[in-house]
């Protein structure tokens, strides 16, 4: 009987430790994906900052960088998000949607000679909204609660566990 109990305990401990490793691996993969995203976006932002916004001949290069930026947002939106950061999945999807709209608007503005400045302003607003979602993701990953207008925080109680007692 003691051998069976011992084997059962070892099996449970092994299963829990393997399960824990899976969670850690998923978290590590997620952190790595977000870090890669940040590095790639940083490179793209640096490239964009090196362009002269007043030089019409560089609009093609700007649009290429924006296309690359959109691709990075797409990749981030497809990353599997661990349950502990479940809200980040929605934020990444929203960010991707906003950056798609922004890039589309910038293309229209720079490629269409008849586009007016309001097209640029709408694109810029969508661009800002996309990056605001990325800022929220970063804040959440740092263990903080995002603050600002139109943010609704819904706290959940963790009651789906059995506490360990001294008797066990």
pLDDT, tens digit, 9 for 90 and up, residues 115-154:
899 999 999 999 999 999 999 999 999 888 888 767 666 6
* Structure-token pair, residue 136: 């929220």
Q: What is the pLDDT of residue 5?
A: 37
Q: Does an H or E element contain 48, and which?
A: helix 2-49
Report the largest interatomic distance among the alpha carbons of the chain, rounded to a whole angstrom.
84
pTM, two decimals, is 0.76
Give Cβ neighbours of residue 154 (< 8 Å, ≥ 6 apart). Answer: none
Digit-coded pLDDT (tens) for 37-82: 999 999 999 999 999 877 888 999 999 999 999 999 999 999 999 9
pLDDT for the residue numbered 154: 66
User: What average pLDDT score do residues 22-32 get?
Assistant: 83
Angle at 70 between CA 69 and CA 73, to 5 degrees: 90
Q: Is residue 55 helix, strand or coil? A: coil
Cα separation, 122 vs 71, whole angstroms: 20
Q: What residue ranges define each of the domains in the chain, with the CATH number in brackets?
A: 2-141 (1.20.120)
The CA distance from 130 to 88, in Å, is 13
Alpha-carbon span 18 to 1, nearest angstrom: 26
Q: Could you give the residue ranges of the DSSP H alpha helices within 50-85?
A: 59-77
Rounded CA separation 12/145 (Å) = 35
């Amino acid at each position: 009987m003691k051998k069976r109990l011992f084997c059962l305990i070892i099996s449970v401990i092994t299963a829990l430790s393997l399960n824990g490793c899976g969670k850690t691996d998923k978290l590590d993969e997620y952190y790595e994906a977000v870090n890669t995203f940040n590095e790639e976006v940083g490179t793209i932002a640096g490239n964009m900052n090196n362009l002269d916004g007043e030089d019409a001949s560089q609009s093609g290069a700007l649009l290429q960088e924006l296309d690359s930026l959109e691709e990075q947002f797409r990749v981030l939106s497809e990353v599997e998000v661990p349950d502990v950061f479940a809200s980040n999945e929605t934020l990444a999807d929203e960010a991707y949607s906003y950056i798609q709209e922004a890039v589309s608007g910038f293309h229209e503005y720079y490629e269409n000679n008849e586009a007016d400045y309001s097209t640029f302003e709408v694109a810029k607003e969508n661009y800002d909204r996309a990056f605001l979602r990325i800022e929220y993701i970063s804040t959440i990953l740092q263990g903080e609660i995002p603050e600002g207008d139109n943010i609704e925080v819904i706290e959940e109680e963790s009651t789906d566990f059995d506490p360990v007692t001294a008797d066990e």
